[in-house]
A = this chain, B = another copy of it.
């Protein structure tokens, strides 16, 4: 398992409720791909959202996000952390 950071753009004006709901939707089906979403951070002004997960592959993360309606192909493995 590797940690991944994925980035979503174009989410300008996202509310706290929308972020919680998107995160809950991911959590609800993440086990299908062996993914564990750990945290998500959003900047409503620029519309950027970052998600940290632990997963078997970037494709696994991508499939979950696609199924819950917020696909992204900007997914980086982050094997190093401090």
Residues of B within 8 A of A41 (CB): 3, 5, 52, 78, 80-81
Interface size class of A (residues with CB under 8 A): 20 to 34
Copies, count: 2
Alpha-carbon distance between A71 and B77 when the two chains are bound, in angstroms: 22
A63 at the interface (CB under 8 A from B): no
A69 at the interface (CB under 8 A from B): no
Question: 20 extra interchain contacts, Cβ-Cβ under 8 A, other than A3-B41, A39-B81, A39-B82?
Answer: A5-B41, A5-B43, A5-B48, A19-B80, A20-B82, A22-B82, A23-B82, A41-B52, A41-B78, A41-B80, A42-B78, A42-B80, A43-B76, A43-B77, A43-B79, A43-B80, A44-B80, A45-B77, A46-B76, A50-B50
